[in-house]
Amino acid sequence: MSSRSAVREPVTASPSLVQRLGQALREAGVVYCQWKGHFRQHRWASGEGDIDLLVDPASAPAFTAVLGQLGFHPALAPAEEQIPGVESWFGYDPRLARLLHVHAHYRLVVGRAWATHVRLPIEHPLLATAVERAPFPTPTPTFELIVFVIRTLLGRSLRQELGPGTAWLDGIQDQLRYLVDRADLPTIHQLLERHLSCVEPALFDACLSSLRPRSSPWRRVLLRHHLARRLRAFSRRPLLSETIRRLTRRLVTLDGRWAGPARGKRLARGGTTIALLGGDGSGKSTCTAELYRWLAPYFDTMTGHLGRPPRSLLTLAVGGLLKVRNVLWTRSGRGPGSPSRDDPDGDSGVFPGYVALLRHVCTARDRYQLYVQARRFAAAGGVALTERYPVAQNRPLVGPCIHALLAAAPNQRLVTLLRAAEEWYYRQILPPDQVIVLRVDPEVAVRRKTTEPPDYVRRRARVIWDVDWSATSAHVVDAGRPLAEVVAELKTLVWSAL
């Protein structure tokens, strides 16, 4: 073997999603820059913070095309948190625990979304003088200092300014010193007079001075008022309806969060219903919980177990009546045997009784109502993660039951009506938007699911294992692998479905 063939080429790591985004935007000729946040690259590069990009509106088509090609998805914030001219895009990098959040600003807007916010009409000169850096271009220190001072003052409320502690003021000193050392004050004055003449140089200097350590919070409050008045022609107050909606949320939950499904952004292209199918021991519940923890911080996300839906009052009443019937029958020696997991009514081989049949109808109704909730949630732009979704391939696990009991049932009209009612509910449950099958060998399922009888687990696992899923549109995942590998593949599949 020659010495040349023995030489190995150096292995280079593939670029991250952030690096690929910067390169793709540069190749597409998009006019943009990262107008804030690049001082803390370690945060947003790992998904912990937002990537705030200012984009020339003329470059918007090319910008959104690049994001789409890289797998980013647009999302809408709740109405009270939306800012005109600002879009949210999320991207998935398998190497990161979090999603990448790109804030696309077509207008340079500063201030809080739910309060009065202000547009700074200096987008064109700021973009025209942006400096090429990796991974994104950035403003010159002079322009960046102007924006930094204005957005810092306008971004704080009276309650925040007069509250205890100055940790926020100490936290900005490194960035402030970095910009001040590289900016030129006379040049700042010239830029203000040319592009933002409503902010006098003297006012800007006073605002800059108020951000120094040990400065008076009352002075900052007064300067913030003056600055807001100078920029009132570019300000936008939230609508009364938005303020009422936000206050209502805070009053209802006391901490500003809903008690129900996670309230985040909605998918701009519409939500989706995803069904995770699998037998016992396949890890459905664990994987669903992992996917929920991954998505819920960003999007409206809910989970639903259609095998065990929330019980309605009618179901609870019928279930209570069924228990009373079983107790009375057992004491009298006339009734069926003890209930079991395979035969919950203890009715094997005998007619289960009208109450038991009605309970099956109630269960079908509860599943249908949870299905409706998940579908409506997805229609509003949310992500609905469901387990035990009734599809044709898993009907033995979650599907109509009365027809299997009719061999021992009397031929009566009431029995026929109950069977028809149960089957009607299941016919209304249409297939989900995406089906993911967690397929695991029945023997592996038995070793995992030690809380149930082995034959019971094996029989239910075979329901999924024996299906030829190649004839369906379902995505089949080998759930016999380590959990981390399974979850990583699930994230890729779910992200492609959003």
Whether 11 has a pLDDT exceeding 50, the answer reads: no
Return phi, psi of residue 92, to 5°: -115, 120
pLDDT tens for each residue of 47-62: 888 899 999 999 999 9
Q: What is the DSSP string of 136-183?
A: S-B--HHHHHHHHHHHHHHT--HHHHHSS--HHHHHTHHHHHHHHHHS
Find the range with the poorest average confidence among 366-380, 393-407, 483-497.
393-407
* The predicted structure's pLDDT at residue 161: 76
Q: How confident is the model at residue 355 (pLDDT cuts 50, 70, 90)?
A: confident
Whether 457 has a pLDDT exceeding 70, the answer reads: yes
- C-alpha 452: how far from chain center: 34
* The predicted structure's pLDDT at residue 487: 95
Which domains are seen in the chain, by residue range? Answer: 17-236 (no CATH), 266-497 (3.40.50.300)
* The predicted structure's pLDDT at residue 333: 61
Q: How confident is the model at residue 303 (pLDDT cuts 50, 70, 90)?
A: very high
- Side-chain half-sphere CA neighbours of 311 within 13 A: 10
Q: Taken in order 226, 229, 235, 239, is the CA torsion positive or negative?
A: positive
The residue length of the chain stands at 498
Q: How confident is the model at residue 159 (pLDDT cuts 50, 70, 90)?
A: confident
* The predicted structure's pLDDT at residue 74: 95
Q: Taken in order 400, 401, 404, 407, is the CA torsion positive or negative?
A: negative
Task: Spell 131-144 as b/e; 16+ CB within 10 A means b.
Answer: eeeebbbbbbbbbb
CA dihedral 331, 332, 334, 338 (to 10 degrees): 0
Whether 475 has a pLDDT exceeding 80, the answer reads: yes
| Contacts with 5 (C-beta within 8 Å, 6 or more apart), sequence order | none
Whether 318 has a pLDDT exceeding 90, the answer reads: no
Whether 359 has a pLDDT exceeding 60, the answer reads: yes
* DSSP tag of 477: E
Q: How confident is the model at residue 352 (pLDDT cuts 50, 70, 90)?
A: low
Q: How big, in percent rounded to 5, are the helix, strand and coil portions of the chain?
A: 50, 15, 35
pLDDT tens for each residue of 60-75: 999 999 999 999 999 9
Q: How confident is the model at residue 247 (pLDDT cuts 50, 70, 90)?
A: low
Residue 190 CB neighbours (<10 A):
13
Q: How confident is the model at residue 478 (pLDDT cuts 50, 70, 90)?
A: very high
Asked whether 204 and 41 are in contact (CB, 8 A), the reply is: no
Q: How far apart are CA 456 and CA 477, in angstroms?
A: 23
SS3 state of residue 30: coil
pLDDT tens for each residue of 429-449: 999 999 999 999 999 989 988
94 token code pair = 């398998």
Q: How confident is the model at residue 6 (pLDDT cuts 50, 70, 90)?
A: very low
User: Considering all CA atoms of the chain, what is the largest pairwise distance in Å, rounded to the nearest integer?
Assistant: 100
Give the DSSP H or E segment for 321: helix 313-332
Task: Spell 150-169 as b/e; 16+ CB within 10 A means b.
Answer: bbbbbebeeeebeeeeeeeb
Q: How confident is the model at residue 344 (pLDDT cuts 50, 70, 90)?
A: very low
CA dihedral 17, 19, 21, 27 (to 10 degrees): -140
Asked whether 207 and 223 are in contact (CB, 8 A), the reply is: yes
* The predicted structure's pLDDT at residue 367: 95
Q: Which of 43, 2, 75 lies closest to 272, judged by CA?
A: 75
User: pLDDT higher for 387 or 415?
Assistant: 387
Q: How confident is the model at residue 12 (pLDDT cuts 50, 70, 90)?
A: low
CA 366 to each of CA 1, 303, 360, 376, 378: distance values in angstroms, whole numbers, following the listed order: 71, 15, 10, 15, 19
pTM above threshold 0.85: no
pLDDT mean across residues, the chain:
85
pLDDT tens for each residue of 83-101: 888 999 999 999 988 899 9
User: CA angle at residue 424 from 348 to 392, to 5 degrees?
Assistant: 75
